[in-house]
Structure 1
Amino acid sequence: MITTVSQRLQPVPRPNHNRFDSRVRSMKKLREELIRIHKRNYRQNLKLVRENLGYNPGVEKYEREYLRHLKTYEEISNKSELIKKVLSADLVFHGDYHTLKQSQHSVIRVLRAIKGKREIIMCLEMFHAVDQKTVDRFMAGELQEKEFLEKIEYAKKWPFHWENWRPIIEFCRQNRIVVLGINTESNDVKGIEKLRERDRFSARIIARNLIQNPGKLIYVVDGDYHVAPGHLPENVHALLQALDVTAKALIIFQNAENLYWKLCSQGLEEADVLKISDSMFCVMNTMPANKIQSYLNWLEYSQDAYFPVHEDWEGTYSEDRGVMVHEMVHTLADILDLALPGDALEKLAIYYPGDLGFMEMVHDTPEFRGQLRLIRSKIKREEGFLLEYEKSGEPAYLIYLANSNINMAAEESCHFLNAVLRGIATQPITPFDRFYRSVITECLGFFGSKFINEKRKSQTENSLRIFVGKANRGELKDIDPETVQVARLILQHFYLQRRTAAAEEFILKFFDHYNSRSAVSRMFSTQLGYMLGNKLYYAVKRGEFSIKRIQELFTDSFAEPMRAFGSYLDVCERVKKVKHVARM
């Protein structure tokens, strides 16, 4: 665009302070509403947990001892500072919330960040010390996974999803990191004494291996309550002190509710890493309500829970998840001031992997026959999805949730809200338009899910550059080549966006992917949408993108040629300067 001298010399318009004040008030109101909703959901979930577990004075005392150290924090930190602390430590205690997948993810992220910089010995609560020889055989590749889990009676001794822990174990196997079990049975004691006995038992293994392996980093992953200073760390310290051995210890907590609400009161809830003291940090990677929800989901799903499931909870798992989706839809509609038709949710069916009649219903629905291959692919990849169709001449909707992941439920709830408001598409569109309509759909889905779980993260352009660089150097083992291909496509797309807004250039560059229904093309549009949705959320929350424009995106059918592409570029331009929280 050529700018003339007269255009450059136009007088600067006077700032509209009323408009600015209105935006600030709107942003404050939205933020307050979000916090109110999150607190309500947290209290509801916590009440359910308390009702199910009942009163256990010993455990509650142990919990109070843990909470004593999480009343406040010293300063907001970051991943870089945390990793430096890990690398300079002799001993790390990493707290874990066993039912929360994100909790185990944070462990693997730290391990990846320190890979090759320290020799590590992993001490894991998930394995019992009595099974150490079997653990060693598995880590040496002498046992297959199924046989290993059977031999150590994994489901009986550690009734939490193996899939959440597998990445940690695989990382250790690939990098020849020794894994030690530190758990034990304590059948002769109960209550708080059982917890203390486990701490004492684990401490002996940890202290012995620290003494026998000078210079190596002893990395302990144990329950959050166990890693409180007065619990397991104190037991280890006492043993080392008795032998006149000093060790620099670091404690990493996760998702302390008290600290999260304190951050909210200070307007700092986007913080991902907190420094509690020089030797204690807290990683914040999910919302308090979602943390507790993960436990409720596990409790209802697991047949081997530590505590018995009450009879009046039995058989309600699918029903409760359906109610959760309905609540999410209403929550999102209220936050974004979207007019949801009163009968909309009556037209929604929700299915899960255990619903045996799901595929039969899909086969019997004419509108789905052309999508069977895509549906099977999504189910195989354990993805959630929304399907739209007509039933008795009326629009109908179907949500499939592959698991109890809160992000998946929130995203599909938002997709449903979007689908109802824009209406079912009836006119054929070009592959080019379909691709960018999909990008915007995924953008809105991710955007909406952030209101339910603000800690959800997407990739960034920088993280993709690092990922592709590692792939090019051959540093990533067993990486899916499709994932690398998608990362490269996204980087190429961003590069082209900076050069031109001409649709012809994009068609020339990405023609094959616009016309393809492959997994790569689908991931390409999905990840473009996710990354935009992440930035869009922070733009709206900070008052830099209007709710009115969001409402337009939710209700637009994007039936006109080039409209979806134009809207995508428009949103990208509006949010390009938005800074988002780094991935931790």
Structure 2
Amino acid sequence: MTKLREQLIQIQKKNYRKNVKLVRESLGYSPGIDTYRKEYLRYLRDYEEISNKTDLIGKASAADVIFQGDFHTLAQSQRSVLRILRELPGKREIVLCLEVFHGSDQKHVDSFMSGELSENSFLDKIDYAKKWPFHWDNWRPIISLCRENGIPILGINTEINDAKGIKSLRERDRYSARIIAKAFLRNPGKLIYVVDGDLHISPNHLPKNVGQLLELLDEPAKAFIIFQNAESLYWKLCSQGLEEADVLKVNENMYCLMNTMPANKIQSYLNWLEYSEDAYFPVHKDWEVDGFEGRGTMVHEMVTTLTSIFKLELPADALQKLTIYYPDDLHFMDLLYETPELKGKLRLVKDKIKRGEGFLLEYERSGENTYLIYLANSNINMAAEEACHFLNAVLRGPLKKPVSPFDHFYRNVITECLGFLGSKFINEKRKAQSENSIRRFLGKVKRGEHGRADQETIQVARHILQHFYMQRKTTEAAEFDKKFHIQYKSRSAISRIFSTQLGYMLGEKLFYAVKRGRFSMERIREFFRDPFDQPMKAFNCYLEISDRVKKVKHVSRL
């Protein structure tokens, strides 16, 4: 185990333990839930082998009933459902059963799916905010995909009495099982896809109830279980040096997706508790503060962690010059109008806010360099990326020397590369696109299989593939300038996203190169300190990194 890898694992364990402690302090102890959890963990002590997306989709397609676990506050958990759903149409007809909706609201679900109800009316009629106080935005793409593909949705949830503890959980499993069993019987040949809370999909919980009902009716069904982000398996992978694995085969009928680090999974729950007005439990008293001690604490801690990982030194007062803003506080917009050096960024800032992106601004106040981070949400990847941008900005100093559009483009690529690199050290499971994933995307667009893709995304994807083609063809800057001159000069969102995605993709491979000892940390430190204000320097740096990491394996996305 390399020293860097060991350091990263220790950081993850420390953050995980800290977050688990905070959750326990907030929730208190429930003997019933603890027993229910232990019954779930019994099946996640070990795994048979590392698998892949293709095998998982193949197993899912061959099943009669899929049970997939969901960690409700983790957006990545819901995204994996969306990705699997996109792979299944054409292979099998599907009926989707969701814990998100209550069985008693099925008539409203049907009306919404048929287009009779608007989204707002639907959410109001089912009392969504009260019955399911988790982010609707995470579920909207799944519901939209089902509406577009004619996939019916069934609600399987019901009210539970917390005072009854584990008895209530078991009653809820039996209720859900009846709906799922009926769906199986009424839809012969169709794939019943169940998405329920992580603990519910344990083989001895909901799947057992469904299996028993169908056996009584002499209608046995082949079940396939998809767990997500089992901490016990992640720590086992770490001990084996295999933590980069994304798909695990637990046994023939159970797989586990590993798409989020354990500490970040629990952090998503803490973020929900802290920011959600509808949280089940009150905000922890230690968090009810503002400024440095409040929401900005996470960013400050990330800066400190990254400084330690990269072995960089910040001025003692650097963090005191950083202010962090969120969507509920846009007072910094006044600053943009009042500060001459920021006025030119007004258009960019408005566009980023509109798109839900985070950003870093640098400006001078009273003769001192000052920094502002805007975070559009509590996404840990966004916070880590901007923390790394801040670290980079402090170390390289103010960018006062004018550079050409060509050099500005590639400087932005390197900046985004470093930002993504830093975020990977905080959340190794973050994924960038790959050249192959972009080719697959454009192939689907060409075949008419990706109707919702906007022209902006399509254009950026084409630019990226053209750029990779140029890299294989030449290293002459003049040739690149000739090909992409318009994009280099443009201030459009397409040009910005083009450079950002090139940086992300480079940062993805650079992370694995650094982690495996194939790229020196000393060189990374040089990148952080370099303002890249010399002609051609950023471009040559891009080519250098690209050449040195081109053989590094890119971990696939599911």
Please say whether Structure 1 and Structure 2 have the same fold, judged by a TM-score greater than 0.5: yes
Query: Is 2:234 the counterpart of 1:260?
Result: yes
Partners of 1:317 and 1:387 in 2: CA distance? 18
Q: Aligned with 2:399: secondary structure? A: coil
Given residue 511 of structure 1, which amino acid in structure 2 is its aligned partner? H
> Among residues 504, 520, 524, which one is paired with 2:478 in the alignment?
504
Residues 1:437 and 2:417 are matched in the alignment:
no
Name the structure 2 match of 1:576: 550
1:416 Cα deviation from its structure 2 partner: 0.5
1:362-383 deviation digits (Å, cap 9, x = unpaired): 2222211011011000000010
Match of 2:126 among 152, 161, 177: 152
Greater mean alpha carbon deviation, residues 43-52 or residues 320-329: 320-329
Distance 1:446 1:507 in 2: 25
Letter in 2 for 1:256: A
State the partner residue of 1:309: 283
- Give the match for residue 454 of structure 1: 428
* Bigger radius of gyration: 1
Distance 1:365 1:230, change over 3 A: same
Q: CA, structure 1 residues 484+318, in 2 after alignment: closer, same or farther (shift >3 Å)?
A: farther
| 1:53-452 aligned within 5 A | 53-187=27-161, 190-315=164-289, 319-452=293-426
Cα distance in 2 for residues equivalent to 1:321 and 1:35 = 25
Hey, what's the Cα distance between the residues in 2 that align with 1:421 and 1:317?
A: 24
Letter in 2 for 1:94: Q
Rounded Cα–Cα distance in structure 2 between residues aligned with 1:497 and 1:457: 22
- Whether the aligned pair in 1 keeps the contact of 2:288 and 2:294 (CA below 8 Å) is no
1:311–1:37 Cα change, 3 Å: closer
- After alignment, is 439-448 or 304-313 more displaced? 304-313
* 8 Å CA contact 1:94, 1:227 repeated in 2: yes
1:4 is aligned to none
* Per-residue Cα deviation, 1:193-245 (whole angstroms, up to 9, x for no partner): 11111100000000011011111000000000000011100110110111111
Partners of 1:300 and 1:317 within 8 A in 2? no
Structure-2 separation of matches of 1:314 and 1:459: 38
What are the Cα deviations for residues 507-526 of structure 1, in whole angstroms up to 9, with x where unaligned? 11111110011110000000
Cα distance in 1 between the residues matched to 2:78 and 2:232 = 21
User: In structure 1, what residue type is equivalent to 2:522?
Assistant: K
Higher deviation after alignment, 356-365 or 382-391: 356-365
CA distance in 2, matches of 1:335, 1:308: 34
1:311 CA displacement? 4.5
* Match status 1:545 vs 2:519: yes
Point out the more displaced range, 493-502 or 336-345.
336-345
Superposition RMSD in Å: 1.2
What do residues 153-202 of structure 1 show as CA deviations (whole Å, max 9, x unaligned)?
00010000000011110110000000000001134962111111110000
Aligned mates of 2:399, 2:262 — CA distance in 1: 38
Return 5+ residue gaps in structure 2 as ranges. Answer: none
State the percentage of identical aligned residues.
69
Task: Using structure 1 for the length normalisation, give the TM-score.
Answer: 0.94
* 1:376-416 Cα shifts (integer Å, max 9, x gaps): 00000010000111111111111100000000000000000
Q: Is the CA contact (8 Å cut-off) linking 2:65 and 2:223 kept in structure 1? A: yes
Q: Check whether the contact 1:318–1:352 (CA below 8 A) recurs between aligned residues.
A: no
- 1:313 to partner: Cα distance: 3.7
Q: For 1:506, give the aligned amino acid.
A: F
Question: How much has 1:460 moved relative to structure 2?
Answer: 0.2
SS in 1 for 2:193: strand
Opposite residue 546 of structure 2, the aligned amino acid is C
The SS at the match of 1:557 is: coil
Query: Deviation digits for residues 231-266 of structure 1, max 9, x if unmatched?
Result: 100110110111111110000000000100000000
Structure 2 vs 1, CA of residues 123 and 508 (structure 1 numbering), >3 Å: closer, same or farther?
Answer: same
| Contact 2:434/2:554 (<8 A) preserved | no
Distance 2:452 2:293 in 1: 39
2:4 matches 1:30? yes
* Partner amino acid, structure 2, of 1:447: L
Q: How many aligned positions are there?
A: 558
Moved more, 90-99 or 204-213: 204-213
* CA separation of 1:313 and 1:550: change in aligned 2, threshold 3 A: closer
Contact between 2:287 and 2:294, CA under 8 Å: does it hold in 1? no
| Residue among 40, 50, 58 paired with 2:24 | 50
User: 1:315: how far off?
Assistant: 4.5
Distance 1:504 1:107 in 2: 45
Matching residue of 1:3? none
Distance 2:36 2:191 in 1: 27
Asked if the contact 2:274–2:284 (Cα under 8 Å) also holds between the matched residues in 1, the reply is no
Partner secondary structure for residue 246 of structure 1: coil
Whole-Å separation in 2 of the counterparts to 1:317 and 1:556? 31
- State the partner residue of 1:22: none
SS in 1 for 2:437: helix
Aligned residue for 2:463? 489
Deviates more, 1:108-117 or 1:217-226: 108-117
Gaps of 5+ in 1: 1-26
In the alignment, structure 1 residue 513 sits paired with structure 2 residue 487: yes
The SS at the match of 1:244 is coil
Residues 397 and 531 in structure 2, CA contact (< 8 A), matched pair in contact too? yes
**How far 1:312 moved relative to its partner?**
4.7
1:32 CA drift (Å): 0.3
Residues 487 and 495 of structure 2 are in contact (CA less than 8 Å); yes or no, is this contact kept in structure 1? yes
Q: CA deviation at 1:318?
A: 7.9
Query: Which of 509, 533, 553 is the matching residue for 2:507?
Result: 533
Structure 1 Cα separation of the partners of residues 435 and 285 of structure 2: 49
TM-superposed CA distance for 1:316, in Å, is 5.1
CA deviation string 1:317-360 (max 9, x = no partner)? 98433111111111111111112221111111111111142212
Question: Within 2, Cα distance between the matches of 1:316 and 1:253?
Answer: 37
Aligned to 1:11: none
Closer, same or farther: CA 432–33 of 1 in aligned 2, 3 Å? same
What residue number does 1:8 align with?
none
| Native 8 Å contact 2:73 2:268 kept in 1 | yes
SS at match of 1:127: strand
CA distance, structure 1, for counterparts of residue 290 and residue 42 of structure 2: 36
In 1, Cα distance between the equivalents of 2:170 and 2:294?
Answer: 36
